[in-house]
Protein backbone atom coordinates (compact mmCIF):
# COMPACT_ATOMS: atom_id res chain seq x y z
CA UNK A 1 0.00 0.00 0.00
CA UNK A 2 1.30 3.46 -0.80
CA UNK A 3 1.70 6.10 1.83
CA UNK A 4 -1.26 8.48 1.95
CA UNK A 5 -0.52 12.09 1.05
CA UNK A 6 -0.44 14.34 4.07
CA UNK A 7 -3.28 16.29 2.47
CA UNK A 8 -5.62 13.46 3.43
CA UNK A 9 -5.47 14.61 7.02
CA UNK A 10 -7.41 17.52 8.42
CA UNK A 11 -4.93 18.33 11.16
CA UNK A 12 -1.84 20.12 9.99
CA UNK A 13 1.34 21.49 11.38
CA UNK A 14 1.90 25.08 10.31
CA UNK A 15 5.07 26.97 9.40
CA UNK A 16 4.57 29.03 12.50
CA UNK A 17 4.69 25.96 14.74
CA UNK A 18 7.93 24.93 13.08
CA UNK A 19 9.47 28.39 13.54
CA UNK A 20 8.44 28.68 17.16
CA UNK A 21 9.41 25.18 18.27
CA UNK A 22 12.97 24.24 17.44
CA UNK A 23 12.49 20.88 19.09
CA UNK A 24 9.86 20.03 16.45
CA UNK A 25 12.41 20.64 13.74
CA UNK A 26 14.99 18.48 15.52
CA UNK A 27 12.39 15.76 15.86
CA UNK A 28 11.60 15.90 12.12
CA UNK A 29 15.30 15.65 11.27
CA UNK A 30 15.83 12.78 13.65
CA UNK A 31 12.88 10.99 12.04
CA UNK A 32 14.36 11.49 8.56
CA UNK A 33 17.79 10.14 9.54
CA UNK A 34 16.18 6.88 10.62
CA UNK A 35 13.60 6.80 7.82
CA UNK A 36 13.83 3.66 5.71
CA UNK A 37 10.58 3.86 3.76
CA UNK A 38 10.06 4.73 0.11
CA UNK A 39 7.57 7.61 0.26
CA UNK A 40 8.98 10.00 -2.32
CA UNK A 41 8.57 13.21 -0.38
CA UNK A 42 10.31 11.77 2.67
CA UNK A 43 13.18 10.18 0.74
CA UNK A 44 13.65 13.56 -0.99
CA UNK A 45 13.71 15.40 2.33
CA UNK A 46 16.12 12.82 3.72
CA UNK A 47 18.58 13.38 0.86
CA UNK A 48 18.19 17.13 1.23
CA UNK A 49 19.09 16.85 4.90
CA UNK A 50 22.09 14.62 4.20
CA UNK A 51 23.46 16.63 1.29
CA UNK A 52 22.50 20.23 1.99
CA UNK A 53 21.95 20.35 5.72
CA UNK A 54 19.10 21.80 7.82
CA UNK A 55 15.63 21.61 6.30
CA UNK A 56 13.72 24.73 5.22
CA UNK A 57 10.61 25.50 7.29
CA UNK A 58 8.08 24.38 4.67
CA UNK A 59 9.86 21.06 4.17
CA UNK A 60 10.01 20.50 7.92
CA UNK A 61 6.30 21.15 8.15
CA UNK A 62 5.70 18.60 5.39
CA UNK A 63 7.83 16.01 7.17
CA UNK A 64 5.97 16.59 10.44
CA UNK A 65 2.64 16.14 8.70
CA UNK A 66 3.86 12.89 7.14
CA UNK A 67 5.10 11.70 10.51
CA UNK A 68 1.60 11.91 11.83
CA UNK A 69 0.48 9.12 9.54
CA UNK A 70 3.56 6.97 10.15
CA UNK A 71 3.74 4.69 13.22
CA UNK A 72 7.38 5.53 13.97
CA UNK A 73 6.69 9.23 13.38
CA UNK A 74 3.69 9.16 15.68
CA UNK A 75 5.80 7.56 18.36
CA UNK A 76 8.46 10.24 18.04
CA UNK A 77 5.88 13.02 18.21
CA UNK A 78 4.33 11.74 21.43
CA UNK A 79 6.09 14.39 23.50
CA UNK A 80 4.57 17.17 21.41
CA UNK A 81 0.94 16.40 22.06
CA UNK A 82 0.34 19.86 23.51
CA UNK A 83 1.84 21.72 20.56
CA UNK A 84 0.21 19.80 17.76
CA UNK A 85 -3.38 20.20 16.61
CA UNK A 86 -5.55 17.31 17.86
CA UNK A 87 -5.90 14.31 15.61
CA UNK A 88 -9.50 13.81 14.53
CA UNK A 89 -10.95 10.30 14.67
CA UNK A 90 -10.36 9.70 11.00
CA UNK A 91 -10.61 5.93 11.08
CA UNK A 92 -14.22 6.06 12.19
CA UNK A 93 -15.11 8.73 9.68
CA UNK A 94 -13.40 6.78 6.91
CA UNK A 95 -15.45 3.67 7.47
CA UNK A 96 -18.68 5.60 7.34
CA UNK A 97 -17.81 7.39 4.17
CA UNK A 98 -19.81 6.22 1.18
CA UNK A 99 -17.80 4.93 -1.78
CA UNK A 100 -19.23 7.68 -3.96
CA UNK A 101 -21.84 10.43 -4.02
CA UNK A 102 -23.72 11.64 -7.07
CA UNK A 103 -23.72 15.42 -6.84
CA UNK A 104 -26.90 17.29 -7.70
CA UNK A 105 -26.33 18.40 -11.28
CA UNK A 106 -28.26 20.66 -13.57
CA UNK A 107 -27.85 19.87 -17.25
CA UNK A 108 -28.25 22.74 -19.65
CA UNK A 109 -28.27 20.69 -22.83
CA UNK A 110 -30.75 18.27 -24.36
CA UNK A 111 -28.39 16.42 -26.65
CA UNK A 112 -25.08 14.65 -26.42
CA UNK A 113 -22.96 13.19 -29.20
CA UNK A 114 -19.76 11.30 -29.79
CA UNK A 115 -16.85 13.24 -31.26
CA UNK A 116 -15.79 10.17 -33.25
CA UNK A 117 -15.57 10.98 -36.97
CA UNK A 118 -17.56 7.90 -37.85
CA UNK A 119 -20.46 8.74 -35.51
CA UNK A 120 -23.71 9.56 -37.29
CA UNK A 121 -26.23 10.24 -34.56
CA UNK A 122 -26.99 12.61 -31.72
CA UNK A 123 -28.50 11.20 -28.52
CA UNK A 124 -30.94 12.56 -26.00
CA UNK A 125 -29.16 13.26 -22.73
CA UNK A 126 -30.67 11.24 -19.90
CA UNK A 127 -30.82 13.92 -17.23
CA UNK A 128 -31.86 11.56 -14.47
CA UNK A 129 -29.05 9.06 -14.82
CA UNK A 130 -26.26 11.42 -15.90
CA UNK A 131 -24.27 12.70 -12.96
CA UNK A 132 -21.10 14.17 -11.63
CA UNK A 133 -19.93 11.60 -9.15
CA UNK A 134 -17.59 12.37 -6.27
CA UNK A 135 -15.35 9.71 -4.71
CA UNK A 136 -14.65 10.88 -1.13
CA UNK A 137 -11.78 8.42 -0.56
CA UNK A 138 -9.75 9.68 -3.48
CA UNK A 139 -11.14 13.19 -3.89
CA UNK A 140 -11.79 12.46 -7.55
CA UNK A 141 -14.70 13.69 -9.64
CA UNK A 142 -16.12 11.68 -12.49
CA UNK A 143 -18.43 12.75 -15.28
CA UNK A 144 -20.97 10.02 -16.06
CA UNK A 145 -23.12 10.55 -19.12
CA UNK A 146 -26.14 8.52 -20.12
CA UNK A 147 -28.35 8.83 -23.15
CA UNK A 148 -31.83 7.37 -23.30
CA UNK A 149 -30.48 4.42 -25.29
CA UNK A 150 -27.31 3.50 -23.33
CA UNK A 151 -24.60 4.49 -20.86
CA UNK A 152 -22.31 6.72 -22.93
CA UNK A 153 -19.32 7.83 -21.06
CA UNK A 154 -17.40 7.72 -17.82
CA UNK A 155 -14.39 9.87 -17.25
CA UNK A 156 -12.44 11.14 -14.28
CA UNK A 157 -11.91 14.88 -14.43
CA UNK A 158 -8.14 14.82 -14.04
CA UNK A 159 -7.67 12.58 -17.08
CA UNK A 160 -6.07 14.38 -19.95
CA UNK A 161 -7.04 14.29 -23.61
CA UNK A 162 -9.90 15.31 -25.81
CA UNK A 163 -13.41 14.52 -24.56
CA UNK A 164 -15.09 11.76 -26.53
CA UNK A 165 -18.59 13.19 -25.99
CA UNK A 166 -19.87 16.74 -26.23
CA UNK A 167 -23.14 18.47 -25.33
CA UNK A 168 -25.39 20.25 -27.81
CA UNK A 169 -28.61 22.22 -27.68
CA UNK A 170 -29.74 20.92 -31.08
CA UNK A 171 -29.12 18.07 -33.50
CA UNK A 172 -25.84 19.14 -35.04
CA UNK A 173 -25.25 19.42 -38.76
CA UNK A 174 -24.45 16.21 -40.57
CA UNK A 175 -25.94 14.00 -37.85
CA UNK A 176 -29.39 12.52 -37.34
CA UNK A 177 -31.33 11.86 -34.17
CA UNK A 178 -30.63 8.45 -32.60
CA UNK A 179 -33.70 6.33 -33.42
CA UNK A 180 -33.43 4.32 -30.21
CA UNK A 181 -33.27 7.47 -28.09
CA UNK A 182 -36.33 8.85 -29.92
CA UNK A 183 -38.28 5.66 -29.25
CA UNK A 184 -37.30 5.54 -25.58
CA UNK A 185 -38.01 9.20 -24.99
CA UNK A 186 -41.45 9.19 -26.52
ZN1 LIG B 1 -29.33 7.11 -28.48
Tens-digit pLDDT profile for residues 55-65? 999 899 889 88
Are 91 and 106 in a shared domain? no
In a domain, 153, yes or no: yes
CA of 165 to the centre of ligand 1 (A): 13
In a domain, 18, yes or no: yes
Domain that holds residue 52: 6-95
CA of 159 to the centre of ligand 1 (A): 25
CA of 122 to the centre of ligand 1 (A): 7
Each residue's pLDDT, cut to its tens digit, for the chain (186 residues) gives 334 443 333 457 888 888 888 899 999 999 999 998 888 889 899 999 999 988 999 899 889 888 887 888 888 988 887 777 665 544 444 556 677 888 888 889 999 999 888 999 999 999 989 998 888 777 888 889 999 999 988 887 766 677 788 999 999 999 999 999 999 877
CA of 149 to the centre of ligand 1 (A): 4
Instruction: Say what the pLDDT of residue 11 is.
Output: 59
Angle among Cα 97, 71, 60 to the nearest 5 degrees reads 95
Are 82 and 115 in a shared domain? no
Strand 121-124 and strand 176-177: the pairing is parallel
What is the spatial distance between Cα 151 and Cα 144, in angstroms, rounded to a whole number? 8
In a domain, 32, yes or no: yes
Are 171 and 106 in a shared domain? yes
Instruction: Say what the pLDDT of residue 74 is.
Output: 85
CA of 145 to the centre of ligand 1 (A): 12
In a domain, 1, yes or no: no
Last residue in a domain, options 60, 95, 130: 95
Q: Quick check: 155 and 133 in contact, CB under 8 A?
A: no
Are 12 and 86 in a shared domain? yes
| Stated pTM of the model | 0.47
What is the spatial distance between Cα 55 and Cα 41, in angstroms, rounded to a whole number? 13
CA of 44 to the centre of ligand 1 (A): 51
Are 27 and 61 in a shared domain? yes
CA of 101 to the centre of ligand 1 (A): 26
What is the spatial distance between Cα 130 and Cα 2, in angstroms, rounded to a whole number? 32
Nearest to 37 by CA among 8, 60, 61, 69: 69
Are 54 and 126 in a shared domain? no
Amino acid sequence: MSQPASDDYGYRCTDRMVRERHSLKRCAEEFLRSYGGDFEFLTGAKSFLEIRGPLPVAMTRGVLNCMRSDPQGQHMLKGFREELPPRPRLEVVERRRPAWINLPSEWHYDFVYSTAKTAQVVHYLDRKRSAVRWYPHTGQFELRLFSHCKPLYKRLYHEAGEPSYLFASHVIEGRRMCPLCMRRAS
